């Protein structure tokens, strides 16, 4: 980052809590049988080793680069969970919605397929206003794989492979973000789990922050376990968590592009039912067309061969972008999506929109969206979402179309 050493120190001093005593590892119970711990796939998981000549930068880890002087990435010994060091992110501005994060990229092979990857990270919050998170992602991403093997940037790897940006073949096969909004905490263990689908060759680990304040991370681990049985979903039950937005919202992906001033936030002035809805506003100042809204992701196991219906209630005031509901189903090689019907524009009181899709039998990931196109003028409210199984698939579930590059499953989430 371009922030001076003095500025970094001032930001850290202003936000960090008083040092807490490091937590010692518990000793094994006398007489207990020793078992081999699962192998940690992460390099430098305790942030103890540094890059040569850069004391603040732990080796094997990367930082997001938003080009903003309001965010500070640090490594210090003030209050680690264990060992001598932890890392932190401190941010002082929410003008742009960005997921500032520490990350590590791992190349994996067939030995991981069919297993459950478990990410565990210890976190400590200080003055957080927003949402901190740990995120685990699985991709089939040849460009990233070859960039690491060749030791070049991803863009250079694409050039060598003869791939243009609009034909980027990266396919997302797994995603789990665990979010937390505690303002002040001591060290707390956070966890995220995903099923590693066949075809995965890259895993991404991210520890980040949406909002202001400071969050510290330490003692990360990524291990592999035998997967649990595929979940059984009853027909007719709403599969979404917090579907009416009356809770914290931490089970949702808040998809906000980095437009200046763009906002998604709880609103108590208008609600279809209950006390709260989600209001989208100030989303006009953007150059790239994308989508904005609320989404939840499900593993495909247990949903293949089913017919899903998604519905949601929308209220609009002079909206120009168009609002809709949609389900995206990702397989290892292709994508199916429900029709984008019921596109709402202009001004409406509460209206329900719904759409259905047959889930491919080999689906590995399902994304359920309440969305609207951006950039757009006007204001929109979202409420009372529902995703349910309405029965077995009614048509052919083996012929999903090939997925386009970096398909719209995770558009504009910015990690």
Give the pLDDT score at 398.
60
Tokens in use for 376? Answer: 């757009």
Give the pLDDT score at 21.
37
> What average pLDDT does the segment 181-188 reach?
96
> What average pLDDT does the segment 392-411 reach?
57
Residue 5 has pLDDT above 50, yes or no: no
Q: How many residues does the chain have?
A: 415
Give the pLDDT score at 14.
43
Range(s) for CATH 2.60.120.260 in the chain? 5-17+39-225, 253-410
Burial (CB count <10 Å: 0-12, 13-18, 19+), residue 30: exposed
Q: How far is CA 317 from each of CA 269, 312, 347, rounded to the nearest angstrom?
A: 14, 17, 4
Q: What angle do CA 106, 109, 113 make, to 5 degrees?
A: 105
Residue 66 has pLDDT above 90, yes or no: no
Give the pLDDT score at 35.
66
Give the pLDDT score at 325.
96
Residue 127 has pLDDT above 90, yes or no: yes
With cut-offs at 50, 70 and 90, classify the pLDDT of residue 165. Answer: confident
Residue 12 has pLDDT above 70, yes or no: no
> What average pLDDT does the segment 36-59 reach?
92
Quote the CA–CA distance of 116 and 300 in Å, as a whole number: 14
On average, the pLDDT of the chain sits at 89
Residue 233: phi and psi, rounded to 5, are -105, 120
Give the pLDDT score at 402.
55
**Residue of 219, 230, 245 whose CA lies nearest to 195:** 230
Residue 290 has pLDDT above 70, yes or no: yes
The Cβ of residue 230 has, within 10 Å, a number of other Cβ atoms equal to 13
Tokens in use for 20? Answer: 């807490």
Q: What does the pLDDT look like over 312-332, one tens digit per residue? A: 999 999 999 899 999 999 999
**Residue of 394, 376, 380 whose CA lies nearest to 348:** 380
> What average pLDDT does the segment 35-53 reach?
92
Tokens 């969305």 identify what position? 371
**Residue of 103, 105, 104, 100 whose CA lies nearest to 67:** 100
Give the pLDDT score at 67.
86
Tell me, which fold does domain 253-410 have in CATH? Jelly Rolls (2.60.120)
Quote the CA–CA distance of 405 and 169 in Å, as a whole number: 5
Q: What does the pLDDT look like over 91-111, one tens digit per residue? A: 999 889 999 999 999 999 999
Tell me, which fold does domain 5-17+39-225 have in CATH? Jelly Rolls (2.60.120)
Residue 7 has pLDDT above 50, yes or no: no
pLDDT greater at residue 409 or residue 122: 122
Q: What does the pLDDT look like over 264-279, one tens digit per residue? A: 999 999 999 999 999 9
**Residue of 118, 250, 121, 246 whose CA lies nearest to 182:** 250
Percent of the chain with pLDDT strictly greater than 70: 86
Quote the CA–CA distance of 128 and 264 in Å, as a whole number: 18
> What average pLDDT does the segment 127-135 reach?
97
Residue 392 has pLDDT above 70, yes or no: yes
Residue 30 has pLDDT above 80, yes or no: no
Residue 348 has pLDDT above 90, yes or no: yes
| HEC-encoded secondary structure of the chain | CCCCHHHHHHHHHHHCCCCCCCCCCCCCCCCCCCCCCCCCCCCCCCCCCEECCEEEEECCCEECCCCCCCEEEEEECCCCCCCCCEEEEEECCCCCCCCEEEEEEEECCHHHCCCEEEEEEEEEEEEEEEEEEEEEEEEECHHHHHHHHHCCCHHHHHHHHCCCHHHCCCEEEEEEEEEECCCECCCEEEEEEEECCCCCCEEEEEEEEEEEEEEEEEEEEEEEECCCCCCCCCCCCCCCCCCCCCCCCCCCEEECCCCCCCEEEEECCCCCCCCCEEEEECCCCCCCCEEEEEEEEEECCCCCCEEEEEEEEEEEEEEEEEEEEEEEEECCCEEEECCCCCCEEEEEEEEEEEEEEECCCCCCEEEEEEEEEECCCCEEEEEEEEEEEEEECCCCCCCCEECCCCCHHHCCCCC
């Amino acid at each position: 980052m371009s922030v001076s050493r003095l500025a970094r120190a001032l930001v850290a001093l202003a936000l960090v809590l008083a040092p807490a005593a490091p937590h010692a590892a518990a000793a094994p119970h006398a007489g207990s049988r020793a078992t081999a711990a699962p192998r940690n796939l992460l390099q430098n998981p305790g942030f103890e080793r540094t890059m040569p000549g850069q004391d603040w930068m732990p080796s094997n880890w990367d930082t997001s680069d938003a080009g903003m002087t309001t965010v500070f990435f640090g490594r210090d010994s003030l209050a680690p969970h264990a060992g001598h060091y932890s890392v932190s992110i401190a941010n002082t501005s929410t003008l742009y919605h960005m997921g500032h994060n520490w990350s590590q990229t791992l190349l994996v092979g067939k030995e991981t397929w069919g297993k459950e990857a478990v990410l565990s990270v210890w976190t400590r919050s200080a003055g957080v206003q927003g949402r901190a998170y740990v995120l685990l992602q699985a991709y089939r991403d040849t460009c990233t794989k070859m960039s690491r093997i060749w030791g070049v940037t991803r863009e250079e790897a694409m050039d060598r492979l003869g791939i243009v940006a609009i034909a980027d073949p990266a396919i997302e096969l797994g995603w789990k973000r665990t979010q937390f909004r505690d303002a002040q905490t001591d060290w707390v263990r956070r966890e995220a789990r995903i099923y590693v689908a066949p075809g995965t060759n890259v895993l991404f680990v991210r520890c980040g922050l949406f909002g202001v304040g400071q969050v510290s991370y330490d003692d990360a681990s990524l291990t592999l376990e035998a997967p649990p049985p595929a979940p059984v979903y009853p027909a007719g039950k709403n599969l979404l968590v917090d579907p009416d937005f009356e809770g914290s919202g931490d089970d949702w992906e808040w998809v906000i592009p980095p437009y200046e001033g763009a906002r998604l936030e709880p609103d108590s002035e208008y609600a279809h039912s209950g006390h709260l809805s989600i209001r989208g506003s100030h989303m006009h100042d953007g150059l790239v067309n994308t989508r904005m809204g609320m989404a939840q992701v499900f593993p495909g196991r247990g949903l293949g061969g089913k017919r899903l219906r998604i519905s949601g209630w929308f209220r609009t005031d002079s909206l120009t972008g168009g609002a809709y509901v949609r389900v995206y189903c990702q397989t290892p090689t292709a994508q199916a999506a429900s029709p984008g019907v019921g596109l709402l524009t202009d001004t409406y009181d509460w209206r329900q929109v719904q759409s259905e899709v047959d889930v491919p039998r080999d689906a590995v990931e399902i994304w359920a969206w309440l969305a609207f196109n951006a950039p757009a003028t006007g204001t929109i409210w979202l409420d009372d979402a529902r995703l349910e199984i309405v029965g077995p698939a009614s048509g052919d579930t083996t012929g999903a179309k090939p997925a386009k590059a970096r398909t719209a499953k995770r558009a504009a989430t910015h990690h």
